[in-house]
Homo-oligomer: A and B are copies of this chain.
Amino acid sequence: MTSTLPPADLAPELLKKERSTATFEVQSCIDLVHGSRQHQARRKQLFDLVVADPVLSDREMNSRNHHERYTKALEKAHAFIQLLKKNNITDQSETTIVYQFVGEPLPIDVHRAMFVPTLETQMDDEQRAYWLPKAESFEITGAYAQTELGHGSNVQGIETTAHYDVKTQEFILNSPTLTSRKWWPGGLGKTANHCVLHARLFLNGKDHGIQAFLVPIRDTKTHESLPGVTLGDIGPKIGFQSIDNGFCALNNVRIPRRNMLMRFAKVAPDGSFSKPPMDKLVYFTMVKVRVYIVFVAFRSLAAAATIGTRFSAARVQGTTGKGKPENQVLNYENQQLTLFPLIGLAYACLFSSRVMDALYNKVISQLDGDIEMEHLYLLSQLHASASGLKALLTEEAANGIERIRRACGGHGYSAASNLPYIFQEFIGACTYEGTKDVLVQQHGAFLLKCLRNPVPVSNSTSLDLLGFLQVDANSTCPATRPEQLRDPEILLAAFKVRALKALLRADANKKSLHFVTQASLAHADSIVLSCFYDGILNVQDPKLRGASLQLFQLYGLWRIQANLGEFRFDNYLSAAQGEWVQDEVLALLKVVRPNAITLVDGFGFTDFELNSAIGRYDGDIYRALIDRASKDPLNKTDVVPGYHQYLKPLLSAKL
């Protein structure tokens, strides 16, 4: 199309050169992120299946509106299930990997991830025997209907009612108010024909709190809404456009008594109620989900960091002097300061999700048979900490992705970079499963309880979640030279003291939510740093361990820099030490620079997964941008149809 191609393809050359400066082997890092070679090989097989699938390999999400994305996602859901079936993929973790490769939320996702597990955990044996096969074979497909138009995080505010009619032995379901209609559940609008409904149970007019019911909402033959059930899609969103997040209003809908999920709470035919045993067990799932969201934060931020770092290495802008070649954008200090700590944050998310998950599994495995208070106590620590981590890390990862997007200039604004898509899909995680403001309160309140009623805990785990309560709140930072601030012990101590000071301040300002928030964030920050360090200590390859340690140091000092006011609280850091922090951050950028590309290569994303013209492994970004644009639907014709209708009259009107 152009008369000449450039004399040399600069961008790919630049990126290639970056790979020769690393101080460690990229494969060593990929092993760290993706596990054994055997696992990687299997992962590759699953990847190849998705890429070879004519439907699942589609990557044109950004050209579609909500309606089109939903329709395409139905097609993908169909192809996804077919692929699993055809290749006999039944293992949950393998299914999840395939799902990650598909790269777009599917309308049956809630069915898989929440509907079926809820039936499993909350139905009694007889109910399970009847319903689970139907759900697992997709004879029925379900949504999880908890959130209402007027009630999100506050489950106790739910208004949907379930009145028991002892004569017919049925529950009568109603949406009695404007704000009580179910709103948001994925798949509820158009896909699901059943849902798990959370409603307030009334027996003989007496309120028995929120219970779960299995409710048919669409005819399993015609898929039409059942009588008394009003269903629909809530409309477009900033992300998750492929999902039919839906609404549901119920008007005197009757379901059999045995459609209440009865593993714990029970209603007998005569309308008598038996209470569930202690609900500590709810914690189990919530910890798991929140830790998984931290993993999603890792995946999303790591993808964005890979794109941004590769682009910055391949892109040149501005010269250092006349006649000199243009500078790689990655050589600018501001660009490094944007990208490198965020690469660190991505690894911090990975290690945090991994360490927390391992700790969780350890606790769970100890729960065989008798549950001792000590285990539950550790579980509640884990639960509170996971809430705090979810709040902190979804926020930081989301902000990080957007900072990376902006650092890519105009190309970051373009969908061809895929940074907009990654951002739009990810930021839902700041909201679902508890918004920041709700989670930090839960976490902070727990920490305050621990401060006021210290309970001795066995310190059998490598990660000491409450160890910060034992540090000296009046200590000051012992670093006497700038470089000492890199010492992991000095860094970890600084975060612990900050966390304790924040908690003491929250305790002294009992009425202020803000100080509770600060205490939660400071504690979460401290745990993340501990998890990061723990992760590094377990790295086998000494070269990689060295490089990771530098990234850890940069990350830790950057977090101090970003919250310097708090670390200087009570002069824990002196004015001079505060200045050192900044100097050390800048010095460490230079240390990390030669490893930058290999650290993101080490995340092990394929070009297919990144779906980014500017984040390609080979650096051939400009050809990719042109190629992608040429395929845009608007470019199907040189003269757009709208020209004749709207533009021509304008151009010839001689206004």
Contacts and interface: CB of A to CB of B under 8 A. Distances in A.
A635 B233 contact: yes
Contacts of A579: 569
Contacts of A414: 234-238
Interface in A214-232: 220, 222-225, 230-232
Contact of A625 (B149, B315, B413, B567): B149
Given A65-B68, A568-B564, A179 B75 contact: no
Interface in A53-69: 62-68
A28 interface: no
Contact of A235 (B140, B244, B415, B646): B415
Copies of this chain, how many? Answer: 2
Given A224-B639, A317-B154, A420-B237, A410 B626 contact: no
Interface in A126-167: 137-141, 147, 149-154, 157
A413 to B, nearest CB: 5
A137 B235 CA distance: 40
B431 A410 contact: yes
Given A154-B317, A176-B4, A63 B647 contact: no
A191 B71 contact: no
Interface in A632-646: 632-635, 638-643, 645-646
A220 B420 CA distance: 36
A634 to B, nearest CB: 4
Interface string A171-188: 000111111110110000
Interface string A431-454: 110011100100000000000000
A118 interface: no
Given A224-B638, A568-B575, A647-B78, A178 B238 contact: no
A586 interface: yes
A22 interface: no
23 contacts: A2-B175, A4-B176, A63-B235, A63-B236, A66-B632, A70-B634, A75-B645, A77-B646, A77-B647, A78-B647, A78-B649, A81-B650, A138-B653, A147-B410, A153-B409, A154-B326, A235-B634, A237-B414, A406-B435, A514-B582, A564-B565, A565-B578, A568-B575
A67 to B, nearest CB: 5
A193 interface: yes
Given A223-B643, A564-B564, A642-B74, A626 B137 contact: no
B413 A428 contact: yes
Interface in A1-15: 1-7, 9
B238 A420 contact: yes
Given A2-B175, A177-B2, A231-B638, A435 B409 contact: yes
A570 interface: yes
Nearest to A134: B654
Contacts of A654: 137-139
Contact of A629 (B247, B424, B437, B650): B247
Contacts of A634: 66-67, 70, 189-190, 232-233, 235, 244
A640 B223 CA distance: 9
Interface stretch (A195-203, A328-336, A467-475): A328-336
A20 interface: no
A448 B141 CA distance: 66
A223 B171 CA distance: 66
B650 A78 contact: yes
A304 B71 CA distance: 31
A623 interface: yes
Given A78-B650, A238-B413, A512 B249 contact: no
B177 A138 contact: no
Given A139-B651, A568-B575, A653-B138, A622 B332 contact: no
A74 B152 contact: no
Contacts of A149: 622, 625-626
Interface string A338-369: 00000000000000000000000000000000
Contacts of A641: 71
A323 interface: no
A274 interface: no
A542 interface: no
Given A6-B178, A235-B414, A651 B138 contact: yes
Contact of A565 (B513, B517, B561): B561
A456 interface: no
B65 A236 contact: no
Nearest to A151: B317
A208 interface: no
Contact of A66 (B63, B238, B625): B63
A125 to B, nearest CB: 23
A205 interface: no
B632 A235 contact: yes
A318 interface: yes
Interface in A65-101: 65-68, 70-71, 74-75, 77-78, 81, 85
A311 to B, nearest CB: 12
Contacts of A647: 74, 77-78, 141, 191, 223
Nearest to A560: B565
B178 A2 contact: yes
Given A413-B427, A654-B137, A640 B71 contact: yes
A492 interface: no
Which among A141, A224, A337, A634 has the greatest number of chain B C-beta atoms within 10 A? Answer: A634
A648 interface: yes
A413 B568 contact: no
Contacts of A484: none
